[in-house]
């Protein structure tokens, strides 16, 4: 499991434990939730970048194939 996914899983587990122990509105739980949000946002941006890069490469390859067929 990649390091980022492990960090997300660990932070999620920590947040759940804090929520059970101190409640969902406790500052420790909220701070942990914000840290989890940050990790999830990093993963989302990384995933979106990969998707955009893959889509762009697919577009280029498809365009080149169409040009080759037309020639």
User: Who has greater pLDDT, 18 or 71?
Assistant: 18
CATH 3.40.630.10 fits 3-70, yes or no: no
- Residues ≥6 apart with Cβ < 8 Å to 42: 4
Report the predicted TM-score, pTM, of the whole model to 2 decimal places: 0.69
The answer to whether the CB of 23 falls within 8 A of the CB of 29 is: yes
Q: Tell me the pLDDT tens digit for each residue of 23-65.
A: 999 999 999 999 999 999 999 988 887 767 677 666 666 766 6
Locate the domains of the chain by residue range. Answer: 3-70
């Amino acid at each position: 499991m990649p390091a980022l996914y492990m960090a997300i899983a660990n932070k999620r587990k920590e947040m759940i434990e804090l929520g059970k122990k101190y409640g969902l509105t406790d500052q420790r739980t909220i701070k942990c939730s914000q840290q989890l949000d940050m990790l999830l946002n990093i993963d989302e941006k990384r995933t979106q970048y990969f998707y955009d890069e893959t889509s762009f490469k697919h577009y280029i390859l498809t365009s080149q194939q169409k040009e080759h067929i037309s020639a």
